[in-house]
Structure 1
């Protein structure tokens, strides 16, 4: 297994995209001390939403898991843009997941595993994190998933 996050991304066949610019009055990242807070990222793939809609309706769980993975890829791209070298990430402290879903949908955690699993694949043990996953009635641009993160930087 490769030893750096960048090498692990390469092994996984992932090329980080250009980070998405904020679309409103906020910034993509804020660093305070050794903590980097990254604003919520949508599941963009090649600059377009990977999927739209809600879980429990038009979006299947496996599609949403992949959407969460794309959100995490975009989160990592924001981290790299903010700190330069992903080896500076000492810990993925927390991920927050928002899942657009119907009131009957209850398997939010399995969707968020798309992001969590990638965090561990890229950062190894430092990718193990605390997490919240919340069902919401809608997300920007009708995205099915949004993921935000908190990272310890060295």
Structure 2
């Protein structure tokens, strides 16, 4: 998919993403997946967790290389979008992706957090066009829940 997709291409990209969305993963602790405040919708942190297991485990710069980290970011983003679709009924209700925070479990000396987070950012722009451009933090952290290499949370406008 092209980053500079036309509005028609963006809708097609969004439909393709919707077809690939997983079932919504229920919280593994005491929190809600999505919270609406006015016209903003916040997601909880999502990891590459599906069907009762972490699909990618470990730290970037140790057990996980950048390409596998980018795959983990894509899976985590799809989990965020699945939660949003379940709450909103359709991703078409999203007016703008406001913010995305990407936590990356990083080994000492790993400094490529942005390279990992870029996969999720690129997908959002491909699917939502200009509305998919967002503010972002890509943070290196020592550990994430259940051994996840990546965790993503989002704020969207509806």
- 1:92 match: secondary structure: strand
Tell me, yes or no, if structure 1 residue 72 matches structure 2 residue 77: yes
Could you report, residue by residue, the CA deviation over 1:34-80 in whole angstroms, capped at 9, with x for unpaired residues?
00000010113555322100011110000001110111111111110
Q: How does 1:60-99 map to 2 (within 5 A)?
A: 60-99=65-104
Residue-pair matches, total: 153
Aligned-partner SS, 2:8: coil
**How far 1:15 sits from its partner (Å)?**
1.5
Q: Describe the SS at the equivalent of 1:149.
A: strand
Q: Mark the runs of 5 or more structure 1 residues left unpaired by the alignment.
A: none
Could you state the TM-score of these two structures normalised by the residue count of structure 1?
A: 0.91
What is residue 53 of structure 2 aligned with on the other side? 48
Shift of 1:5: 6.4
Stretch deviating more after TM superposition (65-74 or 5-14): 5-14
Aligned equivalents of 1:4, 1:53: Cα separation in 2: 35
- Identify which of 142, 146, 152 aligns with 1:141: 146
Whether 1:38 and 2:43 are equivalent positions in the alignment is yes
CA distance in 1, matches of 2:67, 2:118: 11
Instruction: List runs of 5+ in structure 2 lacking aligned partners.
Output: 1-5
CA distance in 2, matches of 1:46, 1:10: 23
TM-score (norm 2): 0.89
**Stretch deviating more after TM superposition (52-61 or 40-49):** 40-49
Task: Give the whole-Å Cα distance in 2 for the aligned partners of 1:45 and 1:2.
Answer: 31
Aligned to 1:124: 129
Across the aligned residues of Structure 1 and Structure 2, the Cα RMSD in angstroms comes to 2.0
Do the aligned residues in 2 keep the contact of 1:79 with 1:86 (CA within 8 Å)?
A: yes
Cα distance between partner residues in 1 of 2:54 and 2:29 = 18
How far apart are the structure 1 equivalents of 2:52 and 2:18? 18
Aligned partners of 1:4 and 1:87 also within 8 Å: no
